[in-house]
Chain A
Amino acid sequence: MDKKLEPIVKAVQSKFGATFEEFRDEVHLFVKPEQIVEALTLLRDEQNFELLSALTAVDYYPQETPRFHVIYQLTSITKNLSVQLRVPVNGTSPKVPTVTRVFGSANWRERELLDMFGIEVEGHPDPRRLLNPDDMEGHPLRKDFPLGYEEPQFTFNFDEIDLRKPYAKE
């Protein structure tokens, strides 16, 4: 771990009881969903992490507790450091509080979270789907969502498969 990062990790650990992991000099801090707004505010205001570089999630299906990790990647421009906060969320009605009041960029990224993973964002100002159509069912980046394929049509079964195809007909 970078020497400059040690006091920051200690500060977060003592305040939130966060556990931490390290892999190839990257630091991951684990916090609870209800602490995330406070943790991000602390890192932004007291430790100069001005930029929320990424906000995404990972699905560990079929594992259920926790099923998802919501990931907040922070960058400090003044100190040239990076730190990652991870929030484990359970599979049944996954929920995280919104961080749009801390970082503006979280707005679209949380909508993407809702759209792609079906993780509910509490208090989001505009909870609509972002990339997929509004009337779509399911959440594509979940591991139990099929990748999808198209049945090949040949002369002998063309009409039979055509009937099942989901495009608009007369």
Chain B
Amino acid sequence: MTQIEEVSLDQYKHLVSERALTGETMLLNMGPQHPSTHGVLRLLLELDGEIVVNCIPDIGFLHTGVEKNMEAKTYQKAEVMTDRLDYMNTMGNNLAYVMAVEKLIDVDVPARAQALRVILVELQRIASHLVWLGTSGLDLAAMSMFLYCFREREQILDIFELVSGQRMMTTYIRPGGVWRDVPVEFEKAVRDFIKVFPKRIDEYETLLTKNPLFIDRMVDIGYLSKETALSYGVTGPSLRASGVDWDLRKARPYCGYEQYDFNVPTRTEGDTYARYLVRIEELRESLKIVEQALNKLPLGPVRSENRKFVPPPRSEIGVSMESLIHHFKLWTEGFPAPKASIYSAVESPRGELAVYLEGDGGPKPMRVHMRTPSFDNLGVVPQIVKGYLVADLVAILASVDIVLGDIDR
């Protein structure tokens, strides 16, 4: 039996100030089971009274070895692992991984599948921002926000259940297209959502945006400068709230984002309130993209015809010997990918979600690395909380929007 080592200050000596060693400041443990850490995150805080002197995050409680597990599965089967990374952005994770695979094996995707991907990923962005809005409201004692946001999120999850059979672990976007075409009820379900949602955003804003209590807790709290943000690799809405206009959907359009007319909201203040405003504005922009994509949703196939990489539809297997062979080969052996590496990035609700994928000529990836945005967004938190109150730390942590599944992988 292994002896559990006694925890001592020696381990953290180089990270805290000298005052902690004399006992002048207090070391306080926040988490791993704390409602405001949005998951299983432990923060070791050095406090001078109520002021944060140092903050040392301790992560890895949700580490599940996703990258190692993916190396042991074929390219198609490894995709289910991506759902479990950032559980608020499953469609986006699927898309990031699938795009890397498609780039590695060079498969084209039909236009209808591209448009469906855009609709679903943008709905997922809205759902993810709603969870952020609800939980950060909850952290700042706006209890009712949580209930309203989850009401609308449920509507989106119902759409996902309609298309993929699953609310959260969707695996709907597949290499070469999507799993299958959407059912006939899909259009009505999305239109219903588009119809009600603008009014709902106005409701949220009435409750929070000009609420004096909310403003007191948010304005001039957790200032993140442009230089710090870039040095620490912060991306997504948190970077755009610090005045950097960088959105991969605009800068390097994928899945046909160049056809849609939308704005990238940016702010220059760089505080917690700016990050809130950027995300609220993104809700409206995402809805605009969904509406445009749905209006010009083309007809046609939803999966590539390249049978060497993409399984044939079920209906063909009964009548074509060749399809049966392809189906069998693809699901038992998988397809070989070239001996090369790919770095492919998409814009997730939290920032740049990228996949580094390296093949070795066989049917299993040799290395998969998920570059997850929350990892860097949490990495900057110790820099921006110094000198604020513990209560502000909660607001700052909520405003950078972290998902621990995304960080620990």
Question: A residues bordering B, Cβ < 8 Å?
Answer: 23-24, 26, 28, 50-54, 56, 58-59, 71, 73, 75, 77, 80, 82, 84, 103-105, 107-108, 125-126, 128-135, 140-141, 145, 147, 168-169
Contacts and interface: CB of A to CB of B under 8 A. Distances in A.
Nearest to B251: A80
Q: By DSSP majority rule, is chain B's interface helix, strand, loop, or mixed?
A: mixed
Nearest to A135: B5
B367 A51 contact: no
Contacts of A103: 231-233
27 contacts: A23-B342, A24-B103, A26-B343, A28-B341, A53-B233, A53-B343, A53-B352, A54-B343, A54-B356, A56-B356, A58-B358, A58-B367, A59-B367, A73-B343, A77-B230, A80-B252, A84-B343, A103-B232, A104-B232, A104-B383, A108-B375, A125-B14, A131-B59, A131-B409, A132-B63, A134-B11, A168-B1
Of A107, A125, A128, A131, which is in contact with the most chain B CB atoms at under 10 Å from its CB?
A131
Contacts of A134: 5, 11
Interface in B245-259: 246, 251-252
A114 to B, nearest CB: 13
B17 interface: no
Most buried by B among A24, A28, A52, A140: A24
Given A77-B244, A130-B59, A135-B5, A140 B68 contact: yes
The 3 nearest A-B residue pairs measured at CB: A105-B233, A131-B60, A104-B231
B353 to A, nearest CB: 11
B67 A105 contact: no
Residue from B11, B67, B232, B235 with most neighbouring chain A CB atoms (10 Å): B232
Contacts of A52: 233
Interface in B69-107: 69, 72, 103, 106
Nearest to A167: B1
Residue of B1, B232, B233 with most chain A CB atoms under a 10 A cut-off: B233
A148 B379 CA distance: 30
A51 B233 contact: yes
A73 B68 contact: no
B130 interface: no
B224 to A, nearest CB: 12
B1 A147 contact: no
Nearest to B61: A131
Contacts, number: 96
B345 A53 contact: yes
Contact of B340 (A23, A105, A125, A128): A23
Contacts of A80: 251-252
Contacts of A132: 60, 63
Tell which of A53, A132, A141 has the most Cβ of chain B within 10 Å: A53
Contact of A82 (B343, B366, B379): B343
Contacts of B59: 130-131
A167 to B, nearest CB: 10
Contacts of B122: none
B201 to A, nearest CB: 29
Nearest to A60: B366
A77 B246 contact: yes
B103 A50 contact: no
Contacts of A23: 340-342
A50 B230 contact: yes
A26 to B, nearest CB: 6
B401 interface: no
Contacts of B408: 131
A11 B124 CA distance: 42
B295 interface: no
Nearest to A145: B68
A25 B252 CA distance: 13
A25 B230 CA distance: 25
A134 B232 CA distance: 25
A130 B366 CA distance: 23
Contacts of A24: 103, 106, 340, 342
Given A80-B251, A131-B59, A147-B69, A54 B342 contact: no
B390 interface: no
A126 B14 contact: yes
A35 B106 CA distance: 34
A106 B393 CA distance: 23
B170 to A, nearest CB: 25
Contacts of A129: 60
Given A53-B354, A73-B354, 18 more contacts: A23-B342, A24-B340, A28-B341, A54-B354, A54-B371, A58-B367, A59-B367, A71-B356, A104-B228, A104-B379, A104-B383, A105-B233, A105-B376, A125-B14, A129-B60, A132-B60, A135-B5, A141-B68
B346 to A, nearest CB: 12
Contact of A135 (B2, B65, B367): B2
A102 to B, nearest CB: 9
B369 interface: yes
B60 A130 contact: yes
